[in-house]
Amino acid sequence: MAQIALRKTAQESQATNPGAAKVLTNNVYMDDICDSVDTVKKAQELSNDIDSVLAKGGFSVKGWISNKDMSKGNEREKMSDVTEVFEGGAEVDKVLGVVWNHGTDELRFKVRSDLIKASDAADQSAAKLIKRMILSKVARIYDPIGLASAFLRAKIGIQHLWQLGIGWDQELQPAIQDQWTRLFQEVMKLNEVSFPRGLFTIGANEDATLCTFSDASRETFGSCAYIRQREENNKYEVKLIAAKSRVAPLKQLTIPRLELQAAVLASRLAKTIQEESRIKFSDVMFFTDSTIVLAWIRSKSGSLNRLSPQESARYKVTLTQFSGDTFQVNSMQQMTFREGYLCRI
């Protein structure tokens, strides 16, 4: 009901405050209002308009948090109480479940130390890892954008536990427990990793390019997408947007088929980024190091009958109208697929 009332409030203010109404319609997630503008002045105007629109519907904003000082009284101080409880005084807060250091404008991870509590316990006989506990600890690493996709060993390890037929509450063998303990200790280093929140390059003199890489191995395959822009000094700045990773199926596939799966994943990732972001990309490029996949993409759709019917249909829909070094998806956009570039996932 609250969301319905909020949308109704935004609709009623569409004529008087179109910008605020648009934000309240499209950029409200649970109890967070998220948006990004170019200048502090625009941020102040937008937040004031949103406050005014919400007041008409009986809503009130608890406070605003920004990477810049918006000079709106003590609202930032009110929000700092919540921040201090969560992070022990550091200038961070959670936005849609992702830790955001608004002081440095960076996205970070917050992996709690209880992941390795069992390995640090004084009584090692009481520190027993079971599959239920491992799955619970792995699920605590919240990573919707895929910034930690490189930590695939957890997914591989869980798949290995299923292959061994280990029960939910069955104690793991000492060697397997040691492997998981070392992995959890390594995952703690995610707390030292950060990524810039902003994607645009200040002073860029050309439109952004979306570069998507794909790669595969016998155990995993994945894709990652970057935004590239040229600066005024003719140097390029590249930033990670998102990544996706998958564990290879238990039924063993050949490396070329897994590389093709990775190319499909890259195509879907790029399509999602273009549909969901407000960035207008001048060009979208895909990179792979598999010449076999490039040959399959260049071939006519009828030559894909070597794959299963489900696989053929999926690849025909995703990769269509290929000619030379470019192919079109749904006849809407041109994309370049280049060989010789390798992205390790």
Q: What is the pLDDT of residues 18-66, one digit of tens each?
A: 999 999 998 888 788 888 888 889 999 999 999 999 998 888 888 888 8
pLDDT (tens digit per residue) in 127-166 = 578 899 998 888 888 888 998 887 788 889 999 999 999 9
The strand order across the sheet containing 93-95 reads 93-95, 98-101, 106-108, 194-196
Mapped onto helix, strand or coil, the DSSP state of residue 71 is coil
- Whole-angstrom CA distances from 283 to 326, 336, 340 are 12, 8, 19
**Phi, psi of 246, rounded to the nearest 5 degrees:** -135, 150
Q: Which of 159-168, 231-240, 312-321, 333-342 has the lowest mean pLDDT?
A: 333-342
pLDDT (average), residues 92-119: 78
The strand order across the sheet containing 208-216 reads: 236-247, 220-230, 208-216, 281-288, 333-339, 326-329, 320-323
Q: What is the pLDDT of residues 68-91, one digit of tens each?
A: 887 654 444 444 444 443 344 456
Q: Label residue 243 exposed, middle or buried (CB < 10 Å: 0-12, 13-18, 19+).
A: buried
Domain with CATH 3.10.20.370 in the chain: 199-339
Q: What is the pLDDT of residue 82?
A: 43
In tens, the pLDDT along 327-339 reads 433 333 334 444 4
| 151 and 187 Cβ atoms separated by less than 8 Å | yes
Q: Is the CB of residue 300 less than 8 Å from the CB of residue 290?
A: no
Cβ proximity of 70 and 46 under 8 Å:
no
Please give the C-alpha separations between residue 121 and each of 139, 189, 208, in angstroms, as whole numbers: 22, 20, 50
CB–CB of 292/273 below 8 Å? no
Predicted confidence at residue 232, as pLDDT, reads 82
Find how far residue 276's CA is from the centre of its chain: 12
The H-or-E segment that residue 246 falls in is strand 236-247
Residue 214 has pLDDT above 50, yes or no: yes
What is the phi/psi pair of residue 290, to 5°?
-100, 110
Angle separating helix axes 255-276 and 309-318, nearest 10 degrees: 40
Please give the CATH number for the structural domain made up of 199-339. Answer: 3.10.20.370
Give the dihedral of Cα atoms 26, 27, 33, 35; nearest 10 deg.
Answer: -130
Q: Where are the beta strands (DSSP E) in 15-68?
A: 28-29, 32-33
Rg, Å, the chain Cα set:
24
